[in-house]
Chains A and B, each alone.
Chain A
């Protein structure tokens, strides 16, 4: 079936199968920042925003995003780069495979919760797994990026 969606502020028509998941549709259309890491809906690597909400694109049937706004990291390049610089400076960037999904969740956190506590940051980011780091560097980077002192 054909669906019309807005991806990174551009109107796009996608042809999708009924049983196709959004992560696959996005990758097919060249949004290769969208990664798949677990096949069990738990790693968060495929995170994109649907109408501003961070969502597992591997678990959303593509037809369901008809008429909605999708944002991938390609659509928030400036903000993503600002955070990526801090992430790298904290030594929390290693293989980089999980970074696009992680960064999309961090940016969503920034939009959703002003001045979060450390507990709120950890709770918000629990759905993003990283197998290289110990998360402490990531946490330092998030706090620095958000200007949180706790």
Chain B
């Protein structure tokens, strides 16, 4: 069960960080929907509600999404529904139900690097940075690779480039966790393929991304490219599926996503 011994709602990010590093058991609260499912004993819980981190804005060439923005805000944002063929809005739109998406936050999903995340796979296929209070601004791919350090995720920054993108996921039943998910984006002649819920965290499939960028893909030879991804990635087994099953399904999802991108105008 979730135990919270003390609670603070700091007025500044500096104060929030100071409290976070003061004790090992102190923790920043996200939406808490996943937190409540496990057992956690938190010394001082830090609620970021007063820091205004719940907006989606256009800043110069970027879309800035505050860490406390909910999945439902991402799903319904006219800006994100339009950007990159609405890949982010589509990715979160199958997460449990509307009432759940009104609770969970982008910051908690990204910072926790959840392996089952629909959002991370879609974010990773875009030019995404994370802005950490202490660690500064680094690319999402670099953040996902780094060991976990105590920090506060403030904003997500997505470069506004003209790209076509598609998101595909496979679930045992509607609104369940994904068994596997895939995102594909095409910017100019550059392709990027990401795969998540393997069940490990989302990863960029480098070989297929390079191959797609160098050669011409069409509906006839899409199998060739999809096979590359299945060979280069490591899949795992959990209650929702075996590694072999995921590998077989990955090919199907990648084909669908590539075909969808090819059809995007």
> A and B: real partners?
yes
Which A residues have a C-beta under 8 Å from some C-beta of B? 1, 17-19, 21, 39-42, 44, 47, 50, 53-56, 58-61, 63-64, 105, 108, 123-128
Q: Which of A39, A58, A63, A127 contacts B96, CB < 8 Å?
A: A127
Most buried by B among A40, A59, A105: A59
Q: Which of A21, A53, A64 contacts B72, CB < 8 Å?
A: A53
The CA of A112 and the CA of B116, in the complex, are separated in Å by: 29
Q: Is B121 an interface residue (CB 8 A)?
A: no
By a CB distance below 8 angstroms, the chain B residues around A123 are 93
Given known contacts A56-B100, A64-B47, A64-B49, A19 and B3 CB-to-CB distance under 8 angstroms: yes
Q: What are the 10 tightest A-B residue pairs by CB atom distance, in nearest-first order?
A: A127-B97, A18-B4, A19-B4, A59-B33, A18-B7, A56-B99, A55-B102, A54-B99, A41-B33, A47-B99
The CA of A53 and the CA of B75, in the complex, are separated in Å by: 14
The CA of A125 and the CA of B31, in the complex, are separated in Å by: 21
Given known contacts A53-B72, A56-B33, A63-B7, A126 and B175 CB-to-CB distance under 8 angstroms: yes
Most buried by B among A18, A39, A123: A18
A41 x B37 contact (CB < 8 A): yes
The CA of A127 and the CA of B92, in the complex, are separated in Å by: 13
Q: State the interface size on chain B (CB cutoff 8 A).
A: 28
The CA of A96 and the CA of B73, in the complex, are separated in Å by: 31
With A18-B4, A105-B99 known, 5 other A-B pairs at CB within 8 A are: A41-B103, A53-B102, A56-B99, A60-B103, A64-B47
**Minimal beta-carbon separation of B155 from chain A (angstroms):** 21
By a CB distance below 8 angstroms, the chain B residues around A64 are 47, 49
**Minimal beta-carbon separation of B34 from chain A (angstroms):** 8
By a CB distance below 8 angstroms, the chain A residues around B96 are 41-42, 126-127
Most buried by A among B31, B36, B98: B98
Most buried by A among B31, B34, B102: B102
By a CB distance below 8 angstroms, the chain B residues around A59 are 31-33, 36, 100, 103
**Minimal beta-carbon separation of B114 from chain A (angstroms):** 14
Most buried by B among A19, A39, A123: A19
By a CB distance below 8 angstroms, the chain B residues around A128 are 97
- Residue-wise interface mask of B (1-31) relative to A, using a CB-CB cutoff of 8 A (1 in contact, 0 not): 1111111000000000000000000000101
**Minimal beta-carbon separation of A4 from chain B (angstroms):** 15
Q: Which residue of chain A has its CB nearest to the CB of B101?
A: A127
B99 x A55 contact (CB < 8 A): yes
B33 x A127 contact (CB < 8 A): no
The CA of A77 and the CA of B201, in the complex, are separated in Å by: 45
